[in-house]
Amino acid sequence: MLERHLAIALRQSLRDTPVTMLVGPRQSGKSTLVQALTDELGDARYVSLDRGLNLTAARDDPAGFVADPDRTLVIDEVQRAPDLLLEIKASVDADRRPGRFVLTGSADVLALPRIADTLAGRMEVLRLWPLSQGEIDGRREGFLDALLAGEPESLANMADSLERQDLLGRIEAGGYPEALTRAGARRARWFDSYLDTMLQREVRDIANVSGLTDLPRLMLLLASRVTGLLNYAGISRDLGMPQTTLKRYLALLETAFLVETVPAWFRNIGKRLVKSPKLILTDAGLLAHMLGGKTALERSFGAVLENFVLMELVKQASVSDARPAICHYRTSEGLEVDAIIEPRGGPVCAVEVKAAATLASRDFRGLKSLAASLGDEFGAGVILYTGSETARIAPKIWALPLTALWAGEAVGRTSSLSELLRGMPDAGDDRDFERLQDRGRSV
């Protein structure tokens, strides 16, 4: 059983909050995590609304469905019966003991109509993304904590060298547990089925409408433009789609956790700043699959690597006690920094991503400009690159190998997923597929 980093926050929430909501993409491991939690609690009841009879009961008699005051009720895929939340609110208002309900949703339930304000003040929301690189390797990543403490160089001894092909392999594998247990053609088929299911069923269920025929074309276009500024006019023109429709579709894709927007960071620091968000895909493996394999991946390697790093930062931020915001920075003169990490009330930190194995002075212009603008409010800056050396480039600015991003202490369990998957074939026949399925079940 993989120990998810979010499990700590989930257990803490149960100790002081009546309702805990766990949201995240389909197949990210939510059901596995809450089922393990149910076993751990002992006196708890697990119900999945993916099963027809449970869903019928929840819709026909929501009050009776949640009436179980003596034990924790774990409801999986609660977005399928949104009326349950009103009954949960009434039940919690009558009895505010902590740990009464654990809910999961494969859509951003708080973004759905009629739900956003239902459990305000009664519920903690946690977001479970697909596996991070640290979780895959069996490590608790220390990058974000070290950066916010102004000590990123402390990770230098933990960062391993990484060959380009190994990095490409990590990107292609992504973080979905099921995809990680497959390789080659079998993994490609899984991604095809996953994307088809998400666009043809899940997004339509969220919107409760039919006729979203342009979603596959939109996803492919977004994949080709990851980490670029979100230009509604350009995308609308290229797809022949009204901007009102485009914005609605993008909101649906974000609600289903297929895409994520990285907002622009700005302060009144005497510069004209670009305020358009960036758009990224939430899984690097799905992105690599949509781009069409290794050749296309190499051609777009810089943007794909930035997407990969941004999502790793988002994953680490979701389990950090500091809960920092992840933004990007760009001036009208073209100076930019890929990621701004800003905790509440803390110094601003920054990360730049370079696909090259060597660095030149021009690669630090964005970080140095930001540091000069912020002065004492600048905490630390790091360039992550594909080389192997660590160096202090300027006050509070370092160059670190990319593997520093998931460097950290090993967590206690029998073996890491990367160890279990070692020796996996590039393309499997049916016997390989059966073997990998067995390995996946053991994970």
Token pair listed for 60? 């026909």
40/151 same-domain check: no
Q: What is the model's pLDDT at position 298?
A: 86
Cα 185 to Cα 188, 289, 437, 440, distances in angstroms: 5, 11, 14, 16
344/239 same-domain check: yes
39/173 same-domain check: no
69/201 same-domain check: no
Tell me, yes or no, whether 441 lies in a domain: no
Tell me, yes or no, whether 438 lies in a domain: no
**Average pLDDT estimate for 189-201:** 92
End residue of a domain, out of 112, 127, 142: 127
217/284 same-domain check: yes
265/395 same-domain check: yes
- The model carries a pTM of 0.88
Contact 378, 370 (CB under 8 A): yes
pLDDT band at 411 (very low <50, low <70, confident <90, very high): confident
**pLDDT tens digits, 139-188:** 999 999 999 999 998 888 887 778 899 999 999 999 999 999 999 999 99
Contact 366, 335 (CB under 8 A): yes
Q: Identify the three-state secondary structure at position 370.
A: helix
Tell me, yes or no, whether 443 lies in a domain: no
Q: What is the model's pLDDT at position 351?
A: 97
pLDDT band at 110 (very low <50, low <70, confident <90, very high): low
- Mode of pairing for the β-strands spanning 378-385 and 259-262: unpaired
User: How many angstroms separate the CA atoms of 143 and 214, rounded?
Assistant: 39
**Counted domains in the chain:** 2
285/386 same-domain check: yes
141/280 same-domain check: yes
Residue 438 clears pLDDT 60, i.e. is over it: no
| Other CB atoms within 10 Å distance of the CB of residue 209 | 11
62/19 same-domain check: yes
pLDDT band at 332 (very low <50, low <70, confident <90, very high): confident
Q: What is the model's pLDDT at position 417?
A: 43
Any idea which of 118-132, 204-218, 400-414 has the lowest mean pLDDT? 204-218
Tell me, yes or no, whether 215 lies in a domain: yes
Catalogue the E-assigned strands of 149-304: 259-262, 278-281
- Mode of pairing for the β-strands spanning 123-127 and 19-23: parallel
Residue 409 clears pLDDT 50, i.e. is over it: yes
215/312 same-domain check: yes
End residue of a domain, out of 104, 127, 150: 127
Contact 380, 147 (CB under 8 A): yes
> What CATH number does the domain containing 91 carry?
3.40.50.300
Tell me, yes or no, whether 419 lies in a domain: no
Tell me, yes or no, whether 317 lies in a domain: yes
118/164 same-domain check: no
Q: Which domain holds residue 93?
A: 6-127
More confident position, 269 or 429: 269
Q: What is the model's pLDDT at position 303?
A: 95
Residue 420 clears pLDDT 80, i.e. is over it: no
Tell me, yes or no, whether 420 lies in a domain: no
Contact 421, 180 (CB under 8 A): yes
Q: Identify the three-state secondary structure at position 291.
A: helix
269/170 same-domain check: yes
Strand order in the sheet with 391-394: 325-330, 336-342, 348-353, 378-385, 397-401, 391-394
